[in-house]
């Protein structure tokens, strides 16, 4: 698509999670992409080198009174949602995670500051109801297709995500915040990614509108799935590109698999 449009093809290392991002994994990405025949501009952008940009965005959102710290652990969040029967009926976001109950919004500001000062762990959440009041209805241009075949001008549904996390005590960003900042700083006009991120675009459009950032065009594509219809994942021991190569598949074979899934 980049070549056909006479555009630039960018590779970005999304390495904000230092504990999980290792040099050998990065080297494998370079090797796999080169094997597929892809080339990209140098130098490669690294998210870990742009924490100051993310901190500035968080300060802007805080100044707009659109964020709040939440101090609950995962176990505490599960308890807040309720017992097993209640949890099964609790509203969930598009990724299947229970919507945040919102209790931390009620903590007095003085108590919040005291907990932060004494070193409590916390996540920074976007008050989605306030954010939506600020932005009004939003859409994005979809050049690919959503999981249900959605195409064209798509109405964003950020409320489906609740009060999403945009940063943490030790990491001044989240995936959602980092990618919209990165796209703007790199001048990205077209985002091509898998359908598993289709509805995440609703959150990205809110952040773009709040931070006065341009909105790219999006192209979401189908994924290569396993026999159970789930996306390939290391956590489920699914076969990855390196294993397919070891089995003797060629780059042309992989392209045919991708074409079948588009």
Q: Do residues 47 and 80 lie in contact, with contact meaning Cβ atoms separated by under 8 Å?
A: no
Please check whether residues 9 and 105 belong to one and the same domain. Answer: no
Please check whether residues 161 and 42 belong to one and the same domain. Answer: no
Of all residues in the chain, the percent with pLDDT exceeding 70 is 90
Q: Do residues 250 and 258 lie in contact, with contact meaning Cβ atoms separated by under 8 Å?
A: no
Task: Tell me how far the alpha carbon of residue 174 is from its chain's centroid.
Answer: 8
Supply the range of the domain harboring residue 137: 50-222
pLDDT (tens digit, 9 = 90+) per residue, 23-72? 888 888 899 889 988 899 999 999 989 999 999 999 999 999 999 999 98
Q: Looking at the 3D structure of the chain, how many domains does it have?
A: 3
Please check whether residues 143 and 214 belong to one and the same domain. Answer: yes
Please check whether residues 180 and 258 belong to one and the same domain. Answer: no
Please check whether residues 112 and 231 belong to one and the same domain. Answer: no
Residue 136 pLDDT greater than 50, yes or no:
yes
Kindly give, in sequence order, each residue whose CB lies less than 8 Å from that of residue 190, ignoring residues fewer than 6 positions away: 1, 2, 5, 7, 143, 216, 217, 218, 219
CATH code assigned at 121: 3.40.50.620
pLDDT (tens digit, 9 = 90+) per residue, 88-102? 778 889 988 889 988
Q: Do residues 243 and 220 lie in contact, with contact meaning Cβ atoms separated by under 8 Å?
A: no
Task: Tell me how far the alpha carbon of residue 203 is from its chain's centroid.
Answer: 9
Please check whether residues 11 and 38 belong to one and the same domain. Answer: yes
Kindly report the CA angle at 234 between 145 and 217, in degrees rounded to 5? 25
For range 105-132, the mean pLDDT: 95
* Cα distance between residue 132 and residue 137, in whole Å: 7
Please check whether residues 197 and 262 belong to one and the same domain. Answer: no
Determine the longest span between alpha carbons in the chain, in angstroms: 62
Please check whether residues 95 and 215 belong to one and the same domain. Answer: yes
* Cα distance between residue 214 and residue 211, in whole Å: 9
| Confidence band, pLDDT 50/70/90 cuts, at residue 254 | confident
Please check whether residues 54 and 173 belong to one and the same domain. Answer: yes
What are the φ/ψ torsions at residue 67 (nearest 5 degrees)? -125, 160
Please check whether residues 240 and 145 belong to one and the same domain. Answer: no
* Cα distance between residue 229 and residue 147, in whole Å: 13
Please check whether residues 131 and 167 belong to one and the same domain. Answer: yes
Q: 52-73: b or e for each residue (b if 16 or more CB lie within 10 Å)?
A: ebbeebbeebeeeebbbbbbbe
pTM: 0.87
């Amino acid at each position: 698509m980049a070549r056909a449009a006479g555009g630039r093809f960018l590779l970005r290392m999304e390495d904000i999670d230092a504990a999980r991002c290792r040099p050998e994994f990065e080297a494998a990405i370079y090797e796999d992409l080169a094997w597929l025949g892809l080339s990209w501009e140098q130098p490669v952008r690294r998210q870990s080198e742009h924490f100051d940009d993310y901190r500035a965005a968080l300060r802007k959102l805080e100044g707009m009174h659109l964020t709040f710290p939440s101090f609950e652990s995962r176990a505490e969040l599960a308890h807040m949602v309720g017992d097993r029967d209640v949890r099964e009926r609790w509203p969930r976001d598009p990724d299947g995670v229970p919507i945040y109950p919102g209790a931390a919004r009620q903590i007095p500001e003085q108590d919040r500051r005291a907990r932060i000062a004494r070193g409590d762990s916390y996540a920074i959440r976007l008050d989605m109801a306030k954010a939506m009041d600020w932005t009004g209805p939003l859409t994005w241009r979809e050049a690919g297709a959503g999981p249900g075949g959605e195409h064209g001008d798509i109405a964003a549904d950020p409320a489906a995500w609740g009060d999403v996390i945009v940063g943490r005590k030790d990491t001044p960003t989240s995936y959602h915040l980092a990618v919209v900042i990165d796209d703007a700083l790199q001048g990205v006009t077209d985002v091509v990614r898998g359908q598993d991120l289709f509805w995440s675009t609703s959150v990205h459009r809110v952040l773009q509108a709040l931070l006065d950032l341009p909105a790219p065009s999006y192209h979401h594509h189908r994924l290569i799935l396993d026999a159970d219809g789930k996306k390939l994942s290391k956590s489920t021991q699914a076969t990855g590109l390196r294993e397919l190569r070891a089995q003797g598949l060629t780059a042309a074979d992989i392209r045919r698999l991708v074409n079948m899934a588009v």
